[in-house]
Amino acid sequence: MAHALFHVQHSLSVRLCFVLGILGLVFLVPWWLVLAISCIGIALFYPFPEFLLPGILFDILYGAGPAMWDMFRHTILFLTIFIVFTFIRSRIRI
């Protein structure tokens, strides 16, 4: 039996509000706070591919720089964390 906190079935409207809230926070708070709140989304919703949207939005808005790394650094960061969390989540019983 999985732990009840992480195995809650959420409705589509709750998930949509959470994602829209995260996307709204991109404009208001620093990137690391958006990342932390997005990680909570990975814990609550499985699978959670919407985790990548804030990284893409950060890069569209603020990703101007001379190097290729500057253009995609948030997307790469969010993608790496998404892969690690998904791998860990698939290996444990939550």
Where in the chain are the domains? 30-91
In this prediction, residues 82-89 reach a mean pLDDT of: 88
* HSE toward the beta carbon, residue 75, CA cutoff 13 A: 13
Greatest extent of the chain over all pairs of C-alpha atoms, in Å: 51
CB burial of residue 84 (10 Å; 0-12, 13-18, 19+): exposed
Confidence band, pLDDT 50/70/90 cuts, at residue 29 = very high
Token pair for 93: 């019983």
In this prediction, residues 50-63 reach a mean pLDDT of: 86
